[in-house]
A and B are shown apart, each in its own frame.
Chain A
Amino acid sequence: MRTQSWGYVPLEALPSGAKAKVVIVMAPGSWSQRLLQMGFVPGAIVEVLYNNRPGPIIVRVMNTTISLGRGIARRIFVEPIVEGETS
């Protein structure tokens, strides 16, 4: 696996309203297959709709809304997109 550069943060750490680009999914076997199918592939843009601790985090990816447990969201590493910057 690629060494983790410091620009990457777990999806779980993003606040409500933030947007980010998926970098790598490190979830265990059966979860990662489903995540990939649901559109969490490297390069995909995710938008955090709600992130209220300690509940699940709700994101939008590929125009679908998905609710993720925090443990899973912690294993999806993303690169935050700063407002105004293009991709």
Chain B
Amino acid sequence: MSNNEKGKKIIVAVVGQPNVGKSTLFNILTRKHVIVANWPGVTVEKHEGWRDYKGYRIHFVDLPGIYGFSASTLEEIIARNYILSGEPDVLLVLVDSTMPERTMYLALEALEIFPKTIIVFTKSDLTHTYGIHINYRALSRILNVPVVAVSAATKTGINELLETIIKVFEGKIGRKAPLKLNYGALEPFVRDAEELIKLSKLSRQYPSRWLAVRALQGDKEILDKMKELGEKELVEKIMKIRSEIENIFKRSVEEVFAQIRFSKLAELMERVVVRAPIKSREVYVGIDRLFSHPIIGPIVSLSILLMIFAIIFTLNTGFPLNIIFYSIGYGELAEFIEEHSLGGLLEEFFEWLGGVARELLHGFPNWFVNLVVDGIIGGVGAVLVFLPLIFLVALLLALLEDSGLAPRIAMSLHSLLQRIGFSGHAIFPVMLGLGCNVPAIMASRSSPNFRERLRLIMTLAFIPCQARLVVVLGIASALSGIKGLILVVASYITAFIIFAFIGKLLYEYDRKRGYVDEPELLLEIPPLHRPLGKVVWWLTWNTVRHFIIKAGTIIFLVTMISWVMLNYSAELKPVSSISDSLGASIAKVFSPLLYPMGFTGETAWKIAYALMIGFLAKEAIIGALAILTGAESSAAAIRMLGLSEAQIVSLTMFSMLYVPCLATMAVICLESRSVKIMLTTVLIMMVIAYIASILAYVFSLIFLGS
């Protein structure tokens, strides 16, 4: 490692199992200096932060939460490759003081890979409550590894940890070579495999014993790398040893290794951990009983989620409270709520900003002023109006996650979700999807089953995001009173039914092809605790960040393109009337498709154009309608277009269900790593939206009249 080049910089990788308090410690260690990015080539978040201490800049890299280094998940591969990359100088492995028996497993595996490791016991303030006594010094002596106990709650041990990092970096303490765990009965096999591995080019880079242990367990990453290096013969010889083990022990090699590792761990823990028997280890046992009840559990969970969304919707758009007040005759009160909703206030702000900009730009050419005010401020403003809403969804979901309620909700809704071919793991992507589909599709990674994940990726775009809520609210506001409310609720219900239906359909298809058995749940239920502000903020920011990036880049571009398309002809000459513009001529090609919904002539291409723009970003539909008609509000725009009630219903349904927005499509492609899956999703959505809107039109004609 080139320490001279780095000067006084120490790179510290931080790894730990899920729920051991890694985010909390990371935040305390780095204070506010955190950078969020993605790991190269994948959409897994990478957090980095730094802290200056005693003349060093200690640079922390947070690795994904993992249970082991088996390379069976993307997160495990990322963590492992980073530790082995040679970049980190020191590795922190976090162990939960309240459950050391299980969480030490990762530490043992880490020590086999990386010698400059520090074992950090988190939540050390809780050991008393749990009746646990850990002899840290004995553990440190036995493993010859520095051990530090910290507590994020009381902030103890933080300075000691920083001191230890520096000492390990300077080589004053800590291991010089990786840990050689004695594999007992497997020892002869490990030794044979190690002799073989030493012939491989890989062993120049990585600890040979660790390579041997991993290769024996059929580690695909390592074996593939060896094959790439042209060491097929070595691989075959190792595989021979592997099948020998299987023949002797009559069970899978992975299981034998895990068993030996855990029994070594149990031996070790027996020497350093004493558990005093206490009456109730868990204070919240009653709550778990509630969530695990087959009827009460789902009811409690659904109530929590419904409540959260009722709060968010009302705060943000005034919906559904405003429409309820309208329909019972309190129009003024409804308007008040609408204007003082977060969305309303932001809208006012951007109108004001546009006015100010127009004054400031006095004297500039007209087209430039229009571009800035209508194009940039108007367009980006129309999107930033959603920011508080996305923020609230993210915040409340982060609270659920950090308090430990989230896995309990997932557990209690598992049986319900199983009926449509999903597991409890799907509930959080779905909830996030009500905010924005982009983070939702990324969150589908929480499902440990690959086929279930693909099905989620293909169906999550049916979950109505907030952008669609605003569009639907805008269009539905043209209907009077309670009819508007019914339409919005009906379109939500339709979207959910279609989500469930398509989910089930894909599941049945997968099952016919023999891909799946049952969607299964395997979820750790951490103890409930009061959420920590910083962690909640961090989780929230993660979700919101994606949205801001989207608003700042894609939607900004879309607005500009849309503005140009409406103000210039196909020959790029300025046009006097919008109907001569480039946008209009493209839209006119598609407009015949809207004839079955009764749209004809001028109206047809205008609607087609708005929907085309909506493909780039759904929320832009409303803005496009406003620009096309020159109306102030969406309700006025709909009135000026002269749409019938049946057409409003049909347009609402179509907006709700048709193609995911561009950003969602990009994320579907990235997460599924398949253009085919992305295109199939778009096709499914288009066909369903088209059929649904025609049906909606026909039914509305029958029940509402034209």
Instruction: Identify the A interface with B (CB < 8 A).
Output: 1-2, 24-25, 28, 30-39, 41-44, 49-50, 52-56, 58, 61-72
Contacts and interface: CB of A to CB of B under 8 A. Distances in A.
6 contacts: A2-B250, A38-B522, A52-B294, A56-B415, A67-B411, A71-B518
Contact of B255 (A32, A38, A49, A72): A32
B660 interface: no
A28 B517 CA distance: 10
B465 to A, nearest CB: 29
B87 interface: no
Given A37-B70, A42-B259, A72-B521, A63 B292 contact: no
A65 B525 contact: yes
B102 A30 contact: no
Contacts of A28: 517
Contacts of B255: 24-25, 32, 36, 41-42
Interface in B514-532: 517-527
Nearest to A65: B525
Given A39-B102, A67-B521, A71-B518, A54 B415 contact: yes
Contacts of B102: 38-39, 61-64
B445 to A, nearest CB: 14
Given A33-B254, A38-B102, A55-B414, A71 B262 contact: no
B449 interface: yes
Interface of B: 67-68, 70, 72, 98-99, 101-102, 105, 250-252, 254-255, 258-259, 262-263, 282, 288-289, 292-294, 297, 407, 411-412, 414-415, 418, 423-424, 448-450, 517-527
B254 A32 contact: yes
Given A34-B72, A58-B288, A69-B520, 19 more contacts: A1-B250, A2-B250, A33-B68, A33-B254, A37-B67, A38-B67, A41-B255, A41-B258, A41-B262, A42-B259, A50-B292, A56-B415, A65-B282, A66-B522, A67-B407, A67-B522, A69-B521, A71-B518, A71-B520
Contacts of A71: 517-518, 520
- Residue with the greatest number of chain B CB neighbours at <10 A, chosen from A32, A50, A55: A55
A72 B522 contact: yes
B388 to A, nearest CB: 34
Contacts of B258: 36-37, 41
B293 A52 contact: yes
Given A1-B250, A63-B101, A43 B521 contact: no
Contacts of A68: 521-522
Given A1-B250, A56-B424, A63-B99, A43 B522 contact: no
Contacts of A34: 67, 72, 448, 522
Given A50-B288, A56-B521, A31 B448 contact: yes
B521 to A, nearest CB: 4
Contact of B524 (A30, A36, A38, A72): A38
Contact of A69 (B450, B522, B526): B522
Contacts of A42: 251, 255, 259
Contact of A32 (B98, B252, B289, B294): B252
A56 B102 CA distance: 22
Contacts of B250: 1-2
